[in-house]
A and B are shown apart, each in its own frame.
Chain A
Amino acid sequence: MLTITDLHARVAGKDILKGVNLAIRPGEIHAIMGPNGSGKSTLAQVLAGREDYEVTQGSVSFAGLDLLALPAEQRARAGLFLGFQYPVEIPGVNNVYLLKAALNAKRTAAGEPEVDAYEFLTLIRQKMKFMQMNESFLTRGVNEGFSGGEKKRNEVLQMLVLEPKLAILDETDSGLDIDALKVVSAGVNSLRHPERAVLLVTHYQRLLDYIVPDHVHVLSGGRIMRSGDKTLAHELERRGYDWVLESQVA
Chain B
Amino acid sequence: MSRVLQSAPPPPSAALRSFAAQWQARPADALTPLREQAMQRFLKLGLPTTHDETWRYTNLRSLAARHFVDAPPMARNEIEPHASLSLIGKADRAASLLMVNGYPTMPVADGLINGIEVYSLREVARLDPGTLLRFLEPLPDPDLQRWTLLNTALYVDGLYLKITGRVPMPLVILHVATGDGADNIAYPRVIIEATAGSSATIIEHHVAQGEHTPLSDSNTHITLGRDAQLEHYAVYATGAGATHFDSLNIRQARDSRCKQFTIVLGGGLVRTGIEAQLSEPGASLDSHALLVGYEARHVDCVNVVTHAAPDTRSAQTARAIASDVSRVIFNSKVIVNAGAVHSQSQQSCRGLLLSPSAEIDTRPQLEIHTDEVKAAHGATVGRLDPNMLFYMLSRGLDRATAQSLLVYAFLADVLTGMSVPSARASIENALIAQLPDSQTLRKFR
Chain A interface (Cβ < 8 Å from any Cβ of B): 48-52, 71-73, 75-77, 81-82, 84, 87-88, 90-94, 97-99, 101-102, 105-106, 109, 141-142, 158, 162
The total of interchain contacts (Cβ-Cβ below 8 angstroms) comes to 80
Number of B interface residues in the complex (CB < 8 A): 25
Question: Are A73 and B409 touching (Cβ within 8 A)?
Answer: no
Question: Are A49 and B409 touching (Cβ within 8 A)?
Answer: no
Question: Are B397 and A82 touching (Cβ within 8 A)?
Answer: no
B contact patch SS = helix
Q: Which of A52, A90, A109 contacts B396 (CB 8 A)?
A: A109
Residue of B nearest to A102 (CB): B395
Question: Is the C-beta of B412 less than 8 angstroms from some C-beta in chain A?
Answer: yes
Known: A73-B399, A88-B388, A105-B398. A93 touches B405 (CB 8 A): yes
Enumerate chain A residues within 8 angstroms of B413, measured Cβ to Cβ. 92
Enumerate chain B residues within 8 angstroms of A105, measured Cβ to Cβ. 395-398
Question: Are A90 and B406 touching (Cβ within 8 A)?
Answer: yes
Chain B interface (Cβ < 8 Å from any Cβ of A): 385-388, 390-399, 401-402, 405-406, 408-413, 444
- Roughly how many angstroms separate A92 CA and B441 CA in the complex, as a whole number? 13
Residue of B nearest to A142 (CB): B391
Enumerate chain A residues within 8 angstroms of B396, measured Cβ to Cβ. 73, 76-77, 101-102, 105-106, 109, 162
Q: Which of A51, A82, A101, A142 contacts B401 (CB 8 A)?
A: A101
Enumerate chain A residues within 8 angstroms of B409, measured Cβ to Cβ. 90-93, 141
A-B pairs, top 9 by smallest CB distance, nearest first, are A92-B409, A76-B396, A92-B412, A105-B396, A102-B395, A72-B393, A93-B409, A73-B393, A77-B396
- Roughly how many angstroms separate A102 CA and B402 CA in the complex, as a whole number? 10
Known: A52-B386, A97-B405, A101-B444. A91 touches B393 (CB 8 A): no
- Roughly how many angstroms separate A141 CA and B390 CA in the complex, as a whole number? 17
Enumerate chain A residues within 8 angstroms of B402, measured Cβ to Cβ. 73
- Roughly how many angstroms separate A172 CA and B388 CA in the complex, as a whole number? 18
Question: Are B395 and A84 touching (Cβ within 8 A)?
Answer: no
- Roughly how many angstroms separate A76 CA and B395 CA in the complex, as a whole number? 6
- Roughly how many angstroms separate A48 CA and B394 CA in the complex, as a whole number? 7
Enumerate chain B residues within 8 angstroms of A81, measured Cβ to Cβ. 394
Interface centre among A71, A92, A162 (most CB of B within 10 A): A92
B325 vs chain A, min Cβ distance (A)? 26
B223 vs chain A, min Cβ distance (A)? 35
Question: Are A50 and B397 touching (Cβ within 8 A)?
Answer: no
- Roughly how many angstroms separate A101 CA and B409 CA in the complex, as a whole number? 15
B441 vs chain A, min Cβ distance (A)? 10
- Roughly how many angstroms separate A90 CA and B406 CA in the complex, as a whole number? 8
- Roughly how many angstroms separate A81 CA and B391 CA in the complex, as a whole number? 11
